[in-house]
Each structure stands twice: as structure tokens, then as C-alpha cells.
Structure 1
Amino acid sequence: MTVGPKLRYFFSQPHQPFFALGLLNAVLFMILFFLAFKGALGVDARLLHSYSMIFLVFTNFFYGFTCTTFPRFSAQPPIEGRRWMRVWALQLLGTLSLLAALALPMAFYAAVIFTLVGVALTLRVFLEIYAAAPEPRQDQYWIVVAFGMAGLSALLFLLAQIPCESCRRGVFFDYAVGVGVWLYLLFLPMVVGLRMVPFFSRVTGCEKSRGLLPLLFVGLLAHVILSNFWLRGLFAADLALALGLGREIWRMELPFPNPDPLLWGLHLGLFWLPLGFFAGATVEFFEAWFGYASLYLPLHLLALGFLTTILVAFGTRVTLGHGGAQLGMDRFGAALLYLTQLVLLSRLALSLAAGYGSVSPWFDISATLWILLWVGWAVKYGKILVAGATR
């Protein structure tokens, strides 16, 4: 079968099909979560939201980045197209399986199995590259560890759904989300961001502290464990992470505020790391001592403030740079970064409203703004992503 030039271009670089699937899923699964939360779909809204966001939205973006950058970090040739395309096909099958699970719950098992196989194939490729890479290999090691945590999280999601009268399935689910969010979804972009943001900003002579990444991993692991046992200890762990990350980013002396919207977005996303952990520690203080219910606010402060902000900026830079367009974000792109902060503020308002026993209208507003963010990005940069700037 002959493949047309447009399709051939679309599959010529790993970030293009992965980003496109991530964009589609970011909109699609937020709409479905909205309907499930409102009771219009007879499915578990928490399961749908957590699994889809971790493995079918952000993971697609992660594959797009790491399949390009991991070989470069390691001074190795690019990954063969046939190898990353298998992972993309598995992600597509995982998406279709989760959609099928809306009507046929057993299809959820297939979605998880496709995810696990994709993670396993990715780890196999990355371990081969890691073994061939010259020293130093610290960043590559922790990227591999983060993907290992993705596999563990997917396995825990699977165990949480297996019928078992004597099993504490809720514990499996809590740890599936905890490992998936803190040790994968947030840790992986920390590893990449703490390396790439100073590089893009042309900051020299300020290497990461040697023990930073293992300490971050231990701190995040403590967060996962303590969140289920000791809220007061959780407050202390997150406060320590906030102070440690704040000190590290302060040492970078990033040129902020920056007139370049791309760099401004990357810097802002990185600054949200200590800010998010500090705000999360503050929320956890009130949860532990006064019983305040925050509706997962610390998680969303980092997932929106750090992860989504830096993803919009990184994704735009990669799309423009690899698509042959002029490297620079215009006013519309800058507006998307501001919109990301509005999504965060609306989610903050949702948690505050939940403390008083209501989520209206902030749930509707935050979900709508999230959808507008990714639709807006697709409208502005989707053509470059799919066909390139000059095609």
C-alpha cells in the first residue's frame, strides 16, 4: 500500500503522531469526564479521569518528547520509526479500548494491557540506548525509572479492577493514582525540565546538584506513602520538597521575566514546582490539623501549574522547531499560557467551593477552560504539527 506524502510526513517524527493523539484525548476525555461527573454516563468518573489523564493524555506527550530527546541525551542515533510507531499503535488501541469500556466494562482490562505493553516496549528501547550511552547518564537513568513507575501504576490500576471479595481494591486504586501522578506524571517532566529549561535559556555554569534527582524521587515516594497514613508527615515532606526545589531553581538564575513568551512559559512552569509544593503543603496543613477537604488541590496545583504550563511551552517549541516554522511564540501562543493559569485558578476556586459543599459553577468553568486551551492550541499549531510549516 502506497502512503501519501502528507501521511508520510506526519509519521516522520515521533512527536507528531503522539502529540496529535494527546491533543485529541485531552479534549475527548475531559468531555467524557464532565458527562460522567454529571451522572450522564454510568461509569466511575474517578477511574475514567485518572486513568485517561495519566496514560492517554499526558503519556502521549511524554512519548513524543522522550522518543526524540532520550537518544540525544545519550549521544545515540534516533529511535527507528517502526519501534516507536508500535508504541503509538498501542496507545491508539488503549484509547479505543477505554472508549469501548464505557459500554463494555471488561474492555478496561484491554486498555491497561495495551498501556503496559507500550511501556514495556519503550523501556526495552530506552535500556538499550542507556547501555550504549557514554557517561554521565544520570538523567537517562531517572527517565527509565519514571517509566518503570508508569508500568507499576498501570499494573495497580489493573489489580484495582479485578473482582475479589477479600482484596482491598480501594488501596490498589489509591496507590495506582499516587504512583502514576507523583512518581511518573510529575517526576518525569521534572527530570527533563530541570535539564532542558536552563539549556533553552542559555544559562551556563549552573549544573544540577548531584543528588537532586534521587532526593526528589525519595521525597515524592514519601508523599505517596504518607498520603495514605500520616497527613502531618505529608505536610512536612511537601514543605521539604518546596524548599529544596526553590533553592535549586534560585541557583539557576533564570532570566525572568523574559520578553520571549516561550522562555517565559518554560520559566513559569518551572517556578510552579516550589510554589505548587509550598501551596500544597499549606493545604495539607489545614487538612491535617483542621479537617479541611481540598478535593485533590495539591495534585492539581502541580498538574496544571507546573506540568500543563511547561507542556504547552515545550510542545509549542518542539512543534515549531521540528516543523520548519519560525521559532517564536506570538501573542496567541502567549494568551494560551495565560489561559493555562486561568484553568489553574478555576480549579483552585473549585476546591474552595467544595470546602463549602458545592462545586458549581467552578467545575463547569474549569472543564470548559481546559477544553478551550487544547482546542485553541490545535487551531493555532495543529497544521504545523500535522503537515509542517511549508507543506
Structure 2
Amino acid sequence: MLQTTFESGISPRNLVQAPHRLMFFIGAGNVLLAMLWWALCLFSTRWPGLVAMSPPPVPAGWLHAFVMQYLVLPSFIFGFLLTVFPRWMGLPSLTRWHYLPVGAGLMGGQLAILIGACGWEAGFFVGLLMAVAGWTAGVVILGRQQLDEQGATWHARSCFAALVLGWIGLVSFLVFVLGGSPFWVMASIKLGTVGLLLPIYVTVAHRMFPFFAANVVPGYRSWRPMGWLGLVWVLLVAHLVLELFHAYAWLWLVDLPLLVATMVALWHWWPRGRMPGLLAVLFIGMAWLPVTFALYCTQSVIYALTGAFELGRAPAHALFIGFFGSLLVAMVTRVTQGHSGRALVMPPVAWFAFVAVQFVAAMRVAAELLPDAYAWHATAAIGWLVAFVPWVMRLGRIYLTPRVDGKPG
């Protein structure tokens, strides 16, 4: 009776009860809006007689990369970090006045940008300014947490360093829109991938995955050497520099060590005994990271030997859909279940989303080698929407209702 009573109390006020509620709700909406727009763009390119889309103010592929890297995934990232930074550092929890500006900037910014991409040019620029404002608020708030901490939490510092690189990438895109050379938009895209998202995902995995496993797998031995995380950072920075200077023939020099490093981590982290589904999806999603670096290595070696840029965007989409997408479902489901007072299990809609993402990732990677690539790209975009819609609807209801156990938060 208590659970039914609490679940019936749907109200927007519940969104501001905790950072993850608001930011995950925004992220859930952003991910569907962004992919709906992108799917329509792909359909209009492949079947122009079926769907007509106005050309956006910048090339659609660049805008797609920008929105996914700086608005969709960061909505979830800020929700997570604004929740865990005070816990990691032993500081008081943040109030709604800390995270409301971040949420308003990321939600309003993406909505205005996408409306602008459909024809409202002024909205496009307004959306960029809102995104910069929301991002700046988040970076300043989390930076203040760093200054207030007594001691040093290196996982928090690693995430914050990635956020600073992400902020630079965000501003770089704005510089391009204001008339800068295409170098700035390319720098923005590369910074978003290798400077922002990859370090944060890897850092959170390094801190949390062994911790989660140790709590439920008897005899599990945690493996979290900080030297490993430092090595990955050095290699990712080297990868970033090589990409910025288009030195694709030499990427294998850093991507091969990254392949080895991620395989070593996965081998150490993967539990040897039985594990619940909510834990298994973390390591299955993590397995996409060595796959990504194997593809990058192959692409680089082929380019060095032949000058041909084979595989196209296959490595990037193994990373974005396979790694980022899988762990998005896995981590957001885990945080949502735990912080709403529910059992730590994978509900059916989360299983559906996770499994579907595996198929979508494989489809998008294979599309680079198949005829009629744009048809496969469009199909993959629709597959993403099919995978996420039921999951997002369930998340939305949870964030709009109080915890089922009656606790605050």
C-alpha cells in the first residue's frame, strides 16, 4: 500500500528533489529528441521524396556530433557528478539552486538548437549560448567542490579535468559558428570524444565497477590501480593530439597500448563467479572499448600502408553506440533503481534497451562495409529510437514520482 501511494504522486516538483532526477529526466528527453531529428535528417538524405528537412546552419553530421557529445550525454554526466562529487569528497549535498541552472541550460539549449536546425536561425544561436551558460554553471559548481575538499579525490579530479576539456570543446564550436575556420569544429568534435566522454566513462568505470562487483560477488578482488588510470589519460591525450593534426597513420602507436590496457582492465574487473544482470551489463558494455581500439588500430595501419581511410566511422560508432550507449543504459538504470528505493535489478524494458543497443551498434559498425550505407545509417537511427523509447518512458515516470520507500531524494 505504501509503495502504491508513493508511486501515484506524479508531480514535476519531484524532479528537483535530487540532481540525478532532474538531469536524467532532461537527458532522457534530449536523447529521444536528438535521435529523432537525426533520423529525419538521414531519411531526408537517403529518401528525399519521403522526408523533407531544412538544412541546418552547420553541416548536419557536425551538428549531430555536437548535440550528442555536449548536450545529450552530458545531461546524464552532470546528473551523476552533481550527485556523487559531494559523497566522494565528504561534502554536503548540493541544493536545487546548484543544479537547476545546469539543467535549464542543457535542456533549453538543445531544444532551441534543434528548433534552429529546422529553420529558426536565431534560436540556433540562442541555444548555443544557453548550452554554454549551463555548462559553465556545472563546471564552476563542481570546480568549487574541488576547492572545498580536504585532501584529493583523484577520480573526481580526473572527471573534472575532462569537463574542463569538454568546456573548451563547447566554446570551440561556438567560435566556429561565429565565423572561425573548420579547424574549430573539428577540434570541438575530437575534444568531445577523447577529451570529455572517454576519460569520464573510463574514470567512473575504474572507480565504480570493481566496487559494485565486490558488493555482490563473493570473493571478488577489486582492481583499481591509479597508475592504470594515469596511463590511459596519457594515451588518450596522445590520441587527441594525433587526431587534431590528422596523423591517422600514427594512431596505432597509442591505440594499440589502449587496446592492451582496456583488455587488461576488463580481464581484472570481470567477475569469475555468477553475477546479477545489473552487474553483467556493465562488463558487457565495457567490452566494446577494446573492440573500439582494435578497430582504430586496424584503420590506422591500413591508412599507413595504403593511404586509404577504410572503415569510415565504424570505430567511432563502436565507441558511441556500443560503449557509451550500452553503459548509459546500464549505469542510468542502476542509479535510478537504487536512488528510487527499488530493487537493484534490470527491469524488462532496460534489458530490451540494452540488447537492442548491441544490435544497433553492430548494424552501424557493419554499415561502413555494406552497400547503400545511408539506408543502414537511417535504419540504425530508428533502431536507437525503438530501443530507448520504452526505457525512457519508464525513467520519466520514476523521476516524476517520490521514492517508493518514502525516503527523501
TM superposition score normalised by structure 1: 0.90
The amino acid of 2:391's aligned partner reads W
Shift in Å, 1:309: 0.9
CA gap of 1:155–1:258, structure 2 versus 1, over 3 A, is: farther
The amino acid of 1:98's aligned partner reads I
Shift in Å, 1:256: 5.4
Query: Is residue 193 of structure 1 aligned with residue 209 of structure 2?
Result: no
Report what 1:23 is aligned to: 28
Report what 1:277 is aligned to: 293
CA gap of 1:332–1:161, structure 2 versus 1, over 3 A, is: closer
Q: 1: distance between equivalents of 2:187 and 2:150?
A: 35
Larger RCO (alpha carbons 8 Å, 6+ apart)? 2
Q: 1: distance between equivalents of 2:13 and 2:169?
A: 34
Counterpart contact for 2:340–2:398, Cα < 8 Å: yes
CA RMSD after TM alignment: 2.2
Query: Is residue 368 of structure 1 aligned with residue 382 of structure 2?
Result: yes
Shift in Å, 1:377: 0.7
Counterpart contact for 2:116–2:122, Cα < 8 Å: yes
Alignment map for 1:1-391 (pairs within 5 Å): 6-37=11-42, 38-39=44-45, 40-41=52-53, 42-43=55-56, 44-102=59-117, 103-163=119-179, 169-202=181-214, 206-227=222-243, 228-252=245-269, 254-255=270-271, 258-290=274-306, 291-353=308-370, 358-388=372-402, 390=404
Shift in Å, 1:236: 1.9
Shift in Å, 1:259: 4.2
The amino acid of 1:244's aligned partner reads A
Shift in Å, 1:247: 1.8
More divergent stretch after superposition (213-222 vs 238-247)? 213-222
**Which ranges of structure 2 fall in alignment gaps of 5 or more residues?**
1-8, 46-51
Count of residue correspondences? 380
The amino acid of 2:13's aligned partner reads R
Counterpart contact for 1:280–1:301, Cα < 8 Å: no
More divergent stretch after superposition (94-103 vs 369-378)? 94-103
Q: 2: distance between equivalents of 1:287 and 1:256?
A: 39
Q: 2: distance between equivalents of 1:132 and 1:33?
A: 41
**Which ranges of structure 1 fall in alignment gaps of 5 or more residues?**
none
Q: Provide runs of 4+ in structure 1 moved above 6 Å.
A: none
Q: What does the per-residue CA deviation read over 1:1-22, in whole Å, with 9 as the maximum and x for residues that have no partner?
A: xxx9722222101112211221
Q: What does the per-residue CA deviation read over 1:227-254, in whole Å, with 9 as the maximum and x for residues that have no partner?
A: 23321211221111111222233233x2
Counterpart contact for 2:190–2:240, Cα < 8 Å: yes
Counterpart contact for 1:209–1:248, Cα < 8 Å: no
Counterpart contact for 2:158–2:203, Cα < 8 Å: yes
CA gap of 1:293–1:208, structure 2 versus 1, over 3 A, is: same
Counterpart contact for 2:278–2:345, Cα < 8 Å: yes
For residue 255 of structure 1, give the secondary structure of its aligned residue in structure 2: coil
Counterpart contact for 1:325–1:388, Cα < 8 Å: no
Counterpart contact for 2:313–2:365, Cα < 8 Å: no
Q: 1: distance between equivalents of 2:124 and 2:305?
A: 38
Q: What does the per-residue CA deviation read over 1:328-353, in whole Å, with 9 as the maximum and x for residues that have no partner?
A: 11344323221110111111121112
Shift in Å, 1:308: 1.2
For residue 238 of structure 2, give the secondary structure of its aligned residue in structure 1: helix
More divergent stretch after superposition (20-29 vs 53-62)? 20-29
The amino acid of 1:178's aligned partner reads K
Q: 2: distance between equivalents of 1:225 and 1:257?
A: 40
Q: What does the per-residue CA deviation read over 1:272-310, in whole Å, with 9 as the maximum and x for residues that have no partner?
A: 222321232123322443314323221111112221111
For residue 175 of structure 1, give the secondary structure of its aligned residue in structure 2: helix
Counterpart contact for 1:119–1:150, Cα < 8 Å: no
Q: 1: distance between equivalents of 2:399 and 2:108?
A: 22
More divergent stretch after superposition (210-219 vs 84-93)? 210-219
Counterpart contact for 2:266–2:283, Cα < 8 Å: no
Q: What does the per-residue CA deviation read over 1:140-194, in whole Å, with 9 as the maximum and x for residues that have no partner?
A: 111111110111011110111223xxx5x22111111000111102211111111
Q: 1: distance between equivalents of 2:285 and 2:150?
A: 30
Counterpart contact for 2:28–2:396, Cα < 8 Å: no
TM superposition score normalised by structure 2: 0.87
Q: 1: distance between equivalents of 2:95 and 2:166?
A: 23
Identity of aligned residues (%): 26
For residue 226 of structure 2, give the secondary structure of its aligned residue in structure 1: coil
